[in-house]
Amino acid sequence: MSEFIEQMRHVCALGGYHSVLAIERAVPILHAGAGCGQKLTRAIGLSNGCQGSSYTGGHSIPCSNIGEKEVVFGGENKLREVVGNALKVMDADLFVILTACTSDIIGDDALEVARRFQKDGYPLVSVETGGFKGTNFFGHELVVDALIDQYLKPAGRMEPGLVNVWSVVPYQDPFWMGTYNEIEKLLSLLGLTPNIIFGPGPERGLAALRKAPAAQFNLLISPWVGLSNVKHLEEKFGTPYLHYPALPIGPTETGRFLRAVAEYAGLESKRAAKVIEKLEAQYFYFIDRASDSLLETRLMPRRFLTVADSFYALGLARFLIEDMGLLPETQYITDGTPSKHQQALTEEFKKFAGGIKAEVIFSSDGGEIHEDIRRKSFRARPLLLGSAWDRVLAQEINGYQLSVSAPVSNRMVLDRSYAGYSGALRLVEDIYTLVLEDYQ
């Protein structure tokens, strides 16, 4: 019997087209029915940090708009026509065809359509992202794999210090741009050259993508999303990878992250130690200054819950436990983590300082999660780190709520991030602003 899932916090695999939009001068071409792209744009762009549609996004995305006729007779001719017209009128350096449920079911060969244009010298890539294949986390991985197989060429030599950075999923994470900027800053302070594809800037986009095969190593900062991609890069180009499972937030985890990267890159430990010392001094200056309020037990939440994707559930838990002294209630992970990764991720929630452990529940059903939380009893007001879906629930349990994971429809996010040292300060500001507003 079919089950209803309430309060979805991600979209289908076709939503991977947002990863194309995050590459400057790259344009997605949707081989889909009318309405698919618009719904995904609203869910991931407009209703998630007010990110908008970006360059050639939203209503500007070329789409075949296939209907009943194409279902019966096939839609490859219509796709070919749309691609040809897009190449004429869209100002871009890369085009990526993404298929949807209908085109995948009827068996349209979008890759063959792409190959015909490739033979004429057009920069075109095709990827099958039928929505029934999985979530947009999986769609993101499919897009990256397609770029690896159809766009990248082997490098003549390895460039020492060049590090490909793979982490949060663009647009799905409303803080993605600020997070990549923060990671770039941290790696640069170590003396490495971060190579980041997503986001604006002359060193990013297709220039960064073309350099990817020359990297010394790939750095994946993610519990599981992107792991198949870095393994694929290793198989195809022989590039090794460092898998760091937690998004570094705060001094403890960010220091741990910097030491791990420095060691893997073959850098002197003194270099990482200097960087950490400087950044920690800046961080603790502000924390010490605010300690009169931060240590006020009447104000400080004692326990927290997360209802978020695996990136933030793990990263936030490590920061709140090891740096802020909070205790964890159940941690709900909503990104549809594949079963093969769930055990490893669960183990990460048993590695907190002081032997503290957190129960982990994997569920994409917000209604199910809310019912489970309602059954709990809290001795003090808890902190609920989730999405805009959880605001009413927070009122019911008399908790403090902060939207940190999609959909973040009640906040505008530009270049904000919770990663690193400065990101942790932003997080402390946001949490205690909630507390102080309620206390006044």
Measured at the alpha carbon of residue 424, what is the angle toward residues 422 and 430, in degrees to the nearest 5?
Answer: 110
Helix (H, G, I), strand (E, B) or coil at 215: strand
Q: Please state the rounded mean pLDDT for residues 73-98.
A: 93
Q: At 159, which helix (H) or strand (E)?
A: strand 159-166
Please report where in the chains the tokens 């002294």 appear, as a residue. Answer: 325
Contacts of 325 (CB under 8 A, 6+ apart): none
Beta strands of 215-300 (E only): which ranges? Answer: 215-221, 241-244
What was the pLDDT predicted at 297? 61
Give the C-alpha separation, 144 to 127, whole Å.
Answer: 9
Could you tell me the pTM of the whole model? Answer: 0.95
Which CATH architecture is the domain 295-439 placed in?
3-Layer(aba) Sandwich (3.40)
The pLDDT confidence band at residue 3, using thresholds 50, 70 and 90, is: low
Domain 13-150: what homologous superfamily? Nitrogenase molybdenum iron protein domain (3.40.50.1980)
Helix (H, G, I), strand (E, B) or coil at 232: helix
Please check the confidence at residue 15 and state whether its pLDDT lies above 80. Answer: yes
Contacts of 55 (CB under 8 A, 6+ apart): 21, 24, 25
Contacts of 375 (CB under 8 A, 6+ apart): none
CA dihedral 114→117→118→124, nearest 10 degrees, is -50
Write the pLDDT tens digit of every residue in 300-335. Answer: 789 999 999 999 999 999 999 999 999 999 999 999
Please check the confidence at residue 59 and state whether its pLDDT lies above 90. Answer: no
CATH topology of domain 159-282: Rossmann fold (3.40.50)
Please check the confidence at residue 1 and state whether its pLDDT lies above 70. Answer: no
Mean residue pLDDT of the chain comes to 94
Asked, colleague to colleague, whether 13-150 and 295-439 share their fold, the answer is yes
Please report where in the chains the tokens 């030491």 appear, as a residue. Answer: 259
365 residue type, one letter: D
The domain ranges of the chain are 13-150, 159-282, 295-439
The distance of Cα 223 from the centroid of its chain, to the nearest Å, equals 11
Give the C-alpha separation, 241 to 234, whole Å.
Answer: 7
